Each structure stands twice: as structure tokens, then as C-alpha cells.
Structure 1
Amino acid sequence: MSDGTATDVGWDTAYLEARRDLWSLPLTADERRLLWKDASAGRWGAAGGVRERLRAFVPAAVGAVGFAHVRGLVDPAEPEEDVTSALMFLLREFGEVVPQNAAGDLTQVLRDRDGDGATELGFHCDTCDLLVLLCLQPAARGGGLTKLASARRVHDIIEREDPGALTLLREEWTFDRTGRAGPQLIVSPILFTQEDGTVGCYYQTRTVRASAEKAGRPLTPGQWDALGVLDEVLYRPEIAFGLPMKAGELLVIKNSRVLHGRSPYTDEPGPRARRMLRLWMSTEAM
């Protein structure tokens, strides 16, 4: 792996820990205040310098490792509705916010529903160019780490350890998403080479398994084994990077290059309950 900002770094957890400067940008209290003032007004003014820092950093980080993390973007004490409005304004710099469900919602607040936070959310890719997460409140009692894995790194490990599984993962798989926003039926390899030479990914753990049964064409033993190989590699500690996000922190993920999930968490009702603001974006810039 390169030490620089080379495109498509096949990173592991050790690399990310050593190169936080590559993917994580801290903002000062003054920068945050200026951003908030301009975002609240709906036009750029005194925060022009911070705007340029973000415009340079986010695409560079996404280009290198497939995601960008900004610390201290907003003050979490501000009203949730105002935070959402400010974020929508800031994201205009990077693309278009698109609906993420059949109801056409542009934003969703992810929270524990009927105790599902106690269950690990498996690695997957959303059906958009960029996934945007803004932490409104971390889990009160710990956990809830956003988990990330490099498609390039996963591809290279499987290529080395089980090339037969990689061959199957590079074939077309069916993802039946009936009733959700966007394409209802997606046929795609799980791991593939993109036009720019980077390793791409598209994976939804439960959907790909259920889709075969739904279509009346059960997965073959070889396909089941290939999915098992993929999952085993994804959950290796050196591959699955757990990012604890604090309130006011932003994460932008390139879905075609980074798989993501979430570790279990223990929550409590009320204002300290874990809440993540989620948006989907379409962009050709990153």
C-alpha cells in the first residue's frame, strides 16, 4: 500500500489508524461557527475559506480510501431541524441529495426500533453514489460503531486465499428490492473492476440470499460457500474498521468502494438515545 494519497488504497484497520490525516478532517470551533452562520443564511460569505477546505478534502479522501470523515462539522446542541437544513445546504458542494425510500424522503433519522440496535447490522452497500451520515447523538451506553471495509482489500485477500470464490463473486447476482426506492431489481457482481480501475462492490447480505429463494432459483452450494468466504473476510478484525462517531461528526461513504455496517449498541430512551441523520446523494464528482 502506498504512503501517499494514491487512488484506491486497499486499506486495513492498521493503515487507517496510521493515516487518519488522509481521511479525517478536524474543524475548529471558529470554523464551525462560520459554517453555521452561512448555512443558516443559505448563502456563502465569511465561511468561504472553510468551504474551500471541505471542497478539497472530501473528494481527496473519497478518492484515496473511499470515505471522508469531518469532525466538529455542526454543534449538536442546535435544533435537529436546523442541523438538517444546514447539512442540506453544505452538501450542495458535492452533488444532489436523492430520495432514500419509496415515500421520497430526502432525510431519515436512524434510531433503535424495537430493540434492533442490540443486533449487528451486517456489511452492505446502499443503492446510491454517496451515503452521508451525521451523528446527532451516539449510543448512551456504548457500541453503535460504524463499520467500514475496503472493497479493494477484501477483493485482494479473496483473490489470494480462494480464487474460486472470487470467480463466483465476480459473476452476476440478483438483488430483489421490491418496494424500496430506486431500482427494484438489481443484477450485479458483488466484486468487480470499475472503469477507473478501482475495485467496486455491491452487496446486501440478506437480500442476495432471499432474492434467490424468491425467484425460485436457490443458490448453489458454491455460491453459498462464496458468500461465506466474503462474510468471513469482512469480519476479520484487521479488515472491519470500527469508527466511533461523536455528535456533530460527518461521514461520507462511496458505496461502490466501501462496504459498511454497524456494531450492536445498548441505548436508553429519551434525549440520550442514539440518532444518526442519513442522506443519499448522486454525484459524478467522486
Structure 2
Amino acid sequence: MDTSSRDNAPTPPLPSSLSWDTDRLRAGRDLWCLAPGDQDSDRLWAAAGRPGDEPDPVWEALRSRVRTGLDVFGFAHVRRFFPAEPAADLVQEKEVTERAARLVRDFGAIVPQNGDGDLTQVLRRRPGDPEEIGFHCDTCDFLVLLCLRPAAEGGATRVAGAQHIHDVLAAERPDVLALLGEKWYFDRAGRAGAPLVHTPILTTAPDGPATCYYQSRTVRASAGHGGRPPLDAARVEALDVLDEVLNRPETAHPVMLASGDLLIIRNSRVMHGRSPFTDAPEPLHRRVLRLWLDEETA
């Protein structure tokens, strides 16, 4: 499998744990950024179109490498997971969705993304959408994004590792880290899953990696309603400090998806957001297929 897309600049040593900043991420690029060659990409596309067949050896090898990226960094980026031409063709959206679902189901069962029970969504700009989406975690084990067509400019998916954020706060603001380890309310009424999530934002188990659950707008909007306490000054400051750390250049890494690229993120280890973008005129708008996967229901 071709992995020619590499950063040749001098880089620091690889991390020995799930704690990474952007320098360490660049050093480990071959573990999370995978580039199948043209023939392998074509084989993946063909194999995904044959439901019920034996797993293709190319996919089996790629799946193993994706697992490595998820284990070490909490995410994996596969370039040209599908050939760019079919992914960009809007006539093929339904077929691309079906084929993508067949392959990524190895990581978990596809679960609804909203209260209407939709198992897939194609993300595109809609009236009222924010220019930029802040860091957050989706309410599932794995987020899968498959780029059908990128924006004309911008629109990177930004990723930030929970362990690095934990380590920064432990060194700079242990008081904030302690508050983030307490339980916070996330009111998710009308969306898929539990209507109310009451959980820490950032925490660690004994001898385990840091885990995260965060939705900046939701946690702020959920306070003071339905009998829940409002945010006091200390908690407001804790959220502000977290957002500042998340948006530091050494914390946030932009991943640009080209047509046919796939990104899979483990939500308990990595927060993600989206940078602003400029769209081309219709019918060439940015379109990204989104799937949610849960391991326990696989």
C-alpha cells in the first residue's frame, strides 16, 4: 500500500502514549494518514460493491492500519478511500453511502444521528449554519466522515487530543482540570440517544488515558434550565480556559479532506471542529457524508 504522502521535515520523537500535540502528530503521520495507491483504491471501491463476499485482502490490511491510528492517536485519515470521481458525482451519493457503510461497519454498528432516526447525513451548508464549528464530541463511539466534494477553500476538520489537553491543564490550571472532571449537563432533547447527558468533560481512569465529552454551545445552553443549576463564575471560566487551550496552534491540527477521503475519529479520545470555508456555486457545494458508529451494538 502506497504511503508516499509524508512530512520529510525533522520531527520530534513519536509519543509513547495517546498524548500528542501537533508536532508529535506530524512525527507519527504514517500511523494516522494512510494513502492507498490507485489500484488499491479501485479494489476497495469494487469490494464495497459486493455485499456478502469474503473480505478483500486490501481492506483487511487497511483496516488493521486504521486500527493502529485509532489506538495511538484516536483518529485515522485515509486518502482516496474511494476513487475521487465516483465520490464527487452527486448521482452516485446513494451508492457511495451504501459502499462506505459496508466497509466501516467493521468498526461498529451504524446508529441514528438525530431524533428522526437518520442513519446517514450528507453535511452541506444550510441557511443559518455557523461559519465555524467549535470543538466538540459527537454522541457515539466513532464519527466517520467521507468527503464527497470539498469546499472551494477552507473547511478543514480540526482535531485535538484529550490526553494533551489534560496534560496542559494539569500543568497550567489544575483547578480548571478538577472542575472539568466533575459532572456537567448536556441537554440533547430532540436528538438521538439520551435526552440528557450528565458527565465529566475531561477525566481519566486509574492508569488509563484521558477521555472527553464536550459540546461547547450545548453545555452553556443547558445550564439554568429544567431545574438544573446555572453556571457559576468558576465553571464559566473553566469552559473559557478549555476553549482557549483547544484553539492553540500546538493543540488543534487541521485535516483537509479531498474528494474520496475518509476520516474516522474516536469521540472519547479526540475532540473535533470545523474551520470556516468558502463554497463554490451549486451544484459544486461542499458535501461530506457522516456516519455514527457504536462498538457495543456491533
**TM, length-normalised to structure 2:** 0.89
- Counterpart position of 1:159: 170
SS at structure 1 position matched to 2:230: coil
Moved over 3 A (4+): 2-6
Aligned residues: 281
Give 5+ residue unaligned stretches, structure 2. Answer: 1-11, 87-91
Structural mapping, 1:1-286, within 5 Å: 3=13, 6=16, 8-44=17-53, 48-78=56-86, 79-114=92-127, 116=129, 119-140=131-152, 142-194=153-205, 197-216=208-227, 217-283=229-295
Comparing 143-152 with 9-18, which one deviates more in the overlay? 9-18
Q: Cα distance, 1:3 vs. partner? A: 4.3
CA deviations 1:144-194 (Å, max 9, x no partner) are 000000000001101110111111110010111111100100000000114
**Is there any run of 5+ residues in structure 1 with no aligned partner, and where?**
none
User: Does the CA contact (< 8 Å) of 1:5 and 1:22 recur in 2?
Assistant: no
User: 2: CA distance between counterparts of 1:73 and 1:231?
Assistant: 32
Q: In structure 2, do the counterparts of structure 1 residues 14 and 4 end up closer, same or farther at CA, with 3 Å as the change threshold?
A: closer
CA RMSD, aligned part only? 1.9
Query: Would the aligned equivalents of 1:59 and 1:285 in 2 still touch at CA under 8 Å?
Result: no
Residue 102 of structure 2 aligns to a residue whose secondary structure is helix
TM-score of the aligned structures, taking structure 1 as reference length = 0.93
Q: Deviations over 1:78-101 (max 9, x none)?
A: 211111111011012211111111
2:271 partner letter: L
Residue 218 of structure 1: how far off its partner (Å): 1.1
Deviations 1:93-136 (A, max 9, x none): 2111111111111100001111626x110000000000000011
On the 8 A contact 2:14/2:27 being kept in 1, the answer is no
